[in-house]
Amino acid sequence: MVAHTHALAAALLCALAGQLGAGASLHCAMRREISPCTCRREETGNGAILVVCQRINAYEDIARALTNKFSPETKIGLDISYSQLPDFDDHSFRELGLSITRLKLNFDNLSELKESVFTKLDLVDYFSLADNSLTEMPRHVLRHLPHVKTLDLCRNKITKLTVEDFRDIQEVEHLVVAGNEISKIEREAVPKALRHVHFGINKLNTLNGALRDLDDLEWIFINANNLKSIDNELPVKAKKIVLIHAAHNELQNLPKDLKQMPSLESLYFYDNNIKSLDGALQKSRRLLRISLSFNKIESLAEDEFAEAEKLADLDIAYNHLKILNGSLRNLKSLRYLNLTHNYLTEFSLQEIKGLKRLSVIDLSHNKISHITGNMENLVDVETRVLELRLDHNYLMNLGGALMGLHGLLRLNLSNNQLQEICPDDLIGLEDLKLLDVSHNQITSLEETSKTFLPSLEELIAHHNNITILHKDFHGLPSLCLADLSYNQIQSVNYDLVSKSRCVINGVPSILKIYLQDNPVLCNEHLYELIKVLDNLNARISGVSTCVTAETVAPVLNMRALNDIEIPQKENPPLIVVAHVGTGIRVLPHEGADRELIPPVPQLQYRRVGALVGHILPEREGGLPVLVEPPVTLPSAGSNVVVKWPDDRTADEQAHPLTDHLRLRDLNASPQ
C-alpha cells in the first residue's frame, strides 16, 4: 500500500510536468483544415486550444497544417510527440503564426536543438523535451523562453547541471530532470523560485548544497541516486515543504534538518542503510505518512514520535527491529502499522494502548513466540484493531492475550506452532469475521464450541492435525466457509452444523466445508451425514467420491469394508451402477455387457460377491446389477451377516475388483 502511495506521488510530479491540459474533447472549428493534427479546447477555462500532432513523418507536414490557421489572440498548447522530424532544423515555430503557451516535444528522438527553431517563444510557460536523447541542458534554447514555469527534461542523457543552464529562466517553479545521468549539480545552479524539484533516478553522490537556499520548495524528489548523506542539504527555511522522497539511496541516517521542518507530511526513505532514527521525527507535528522499510533499523526510542500525533501510516517493514520500547503510544491517529519481516520475539498489546484509529497491524514474518498485555482489563477500552496479522511467527499458544480486542475483524495466525485454540483466546472477539489458523499443529477445534464468535464467517484451518469434527462449529452461528482440507479427519458428527446458519447480505446461503485430502471413510454414515448436512444448508466438498453427486468416478475402497467377507474364488462378473448428477455412471467388469440398465422402482439390498448394495432383478442372460450406493455396509437390522476371515492379512483384504472396474457414462436419468 505504501509502495503504491509513493509511486503515485512520483507519478504525480511527472504528471504535473507532463500534461498539456488534456481536457474533454469539444468541437474545434479548424479540425479538418489542420489534418494530420487534431485540436480540442483545454478544460483550464483560459480559452486555450490544445493542438496535437503525433506520429508525424516530417515537420513540413506540421507547418503546412498549422501555419496561420489560428488567430494571434488564441492561446495554443502544441504537442508534437512520437514523431520523426528530419527537417526540424529547417523551420521555426515562429513561422507558424501561433501564440504558443505550452510546447511538448516528447519521444521525438531529438539529440541536438538548433536555436533558430525556438525564437520568439516568450509566451511559453510550459516546455517539455522528455524522452529524447539530449546530453546537456539546451541553454541556448531556454534563453528564448524567459517566462517558462515548468521545465520537463525527464529521461534524457544529461550528465550535469550548471549555473549557466538556468541563468535565463529564473521564473521556473517546477523542474523535472528525473531519469538522466546527472552526477553533478553546481551549488548555485537551480533557480531560487523552485517549488517542485525532481532529481530522482540519476547518479548523484551529493546534492552539493543546491537545495539549501530554496525557501519556496514544497516537494523534493532525490530518490534512486547514490547519496550517502543529506545532512545540511535540506532547505530548513522552506516553510511549505510537505514531501521528501529519498528512497533507493545509501543513506546512513535521517538528516537532523527534519527537526526544523515541521510542515512535512510525507517522507519516503525506504531502501537505504538507516540504522536508527535518532529523534529526527520528534518534532514532525504534521507528518501523515512515513516509509522506512528495507533499512537496518534495530530499535526505536520511547520518544521517537513524541509530537507526531497526526501520523497515520507507519511502515518499518524489513528492518532489524527487536523491540518497540513503547514508541508508538503518542501516535493517536495511527491507522496502518507495518512491522513485517523484523526480529521481534515478543509483542505486547500495551504497545498500541489508546490507539483508537488502528485498522491494520502487520506483525507477520517475525520471531514472535509470546503475545502479552491483553486488553481485557485496560481502562481505555477504545483501543481497536480491524486486522491483526501474526502469521509466520513462532507462537505455540495465545495465552488469552487477544481476549477483549474489540472490533477485530480479521485475525491471521497461520504458519505458527499452535497446538490448540483455547476458549479464553477468543473471548470478546464478537466482531471477528475471518480466523486463519492454517499451517499449525492443531489437533482439535473442539474448544471453539465453548466460546462464541457470532460474526465469524470464514474459518481457515487447513494443513493441521485435526482428526475429528464433533460440535466444533457450535459457537460459530454465522459460519459460511470452513476450510479443513489437508488434516487427518476421519469422522464427522451429524451435530457439527446444527447451530450454524450461513447468511450472505441477508439471504440464507450454503455453509461450505472443504475436506480435501482427509482420510474420511466412505461408508453409510458419511453418506447419511451428507444428506443431513444438505438439509441444514451445509455442503461438504472433497470427501470420498463414492458418496457425492458431484464426483467423477466411484472409489471402491475395500479396506473400508471391514465387515465384508472376500470370497476365495474368482469374483463373479458384476455391473456397478451409481447415481451421479442427472445421469447414471456404470463401471462394468471387463467384457461385461455395457448397455444401459433401466432403473426400476423397487430395489433390494443384497450382497453380490464382495459388494453390498441394492440389486436390480437379473435380466435373462444378463449380469447382476448393483446400484447406488455401490460400496456400503448393510443397514441396521439387515439379515446379511458378513465378516472378514480371521486369517486374512490386510493386503489380502484389498479386493481385486478395483483393478477391473472402469467408468462409462450413460445418458439416462436415475429413478
Task: Round to whole Å and give the CA distance between 87 and 89.
Answer: 6
For the segment 65-77, the average pLDDT, to the nearest whole number, is 90
Average pLDDT of the chain, as a whole number? 80
Q: Could you say which of 475, 510, 545 is where a domain stops? A: 545
The SS3 of residue 659 is helix
**Per the domain annotation, does 478 fall within a domain?**
yes
Q: Is the pLDDT of residue 337 over 90?
A: yes
Task: Round to whole Å and give the CA distance between 19 and 36.
Answer: 21
Task: Round to whole Å and give the CA distance between 146 and 123.
Answer: 8
Task: Round to whole Å and give the CA distance between 442 and 463.
Answer: 9
- The burial class, CB within 10 Å (0-12 / 13-18 / 19+), for 443 is middle
Q: Which carries the bigger pLDDT value, residue 48 or residue 618?
A: 48
pLDDT tens, 115-173?
Answer: 999 999 999 999 999 999 999 999 999 999 999 999 999 999 999 999 999 999 999 99
pLDDT in the model for residue 378 = 47
Q: How many domains does the chain have?
A: 2
Q: Is the pLDDT of residue 89 over 70?
A: yes
Asked if 575 and 660 touch (Cβ cutoff 8 Å), the reply is no
**Per the domain annotation, does 379 fall within a domain?**
no
Q: Is the pLDDT of residue 19 over 60?
A: no
What is the DSSP-derived secondary structure letter of residue 589? P
**Per the domain annotation, does 408 fall within a domain?**
no
Please compute, for residue 306, the number of CA atoms within 13 A of its CA located in the half-sphere on the CB side: 13
**Per the domain annotation, does 180 fall within a domain?**
no
Lowest mean pLDDT among 185-199, 492-506, 555-569: 555-569
- How many C-beta atoms lie closer than 10 Å to residue 26's C-beta? 11
Q: Could you say which of 519, 545, 571 is where a domain stops? A: 545
Q: CA torsion, points 622, 628, 630, 634, in degrees to nearest 10?
A: -110
pLDDT in the model for residue 292 = 98
Q: Is the pLDDT of residue 613 over 80?
A: no
**Per the domain annotation, does 451 fall within a domain?**
yes
**Per the domain annotation, does 504 fall within a domain?**
yes
The SS3 of residue 495 is helix
**Per the domain annotation, does 663 fall within a domain?**
no
**Per the domain annotation, does 75 fall within a domain?**
yes
- The burial class, CB within 10 Å (0-12 / 13-18 / 19+), for 551 is middle
Q: What is the pTM of this model?
A: 0.77
Q: Could you say which of 126, 157, 188 is where a domain stops? A: 157
How is residue 628 written as a grid cell? 447406488
Measured in degrees and rounded to the nearest 5, phi and psi for residue 258 equal -60, -25
Domain residues for the domain of 462 are 442-545
Task: Round to whole Å and give the CA distance between 168 and 150.
Answer: 14
Cβ-defined contacts of 475-481 (< 8 Å, 24+): 475/448, 475/449, 475/450, 475/451, 476/448, 476/500, 477/501, 478/454, 478/502, 478/503, 479/511, 480/504, 480/509, 480/510, 480/511, 480/512, 481/457, 481/511, 481/512, 481/514
CATH number of the domain that residue 125 is part of: 3.80.10.10
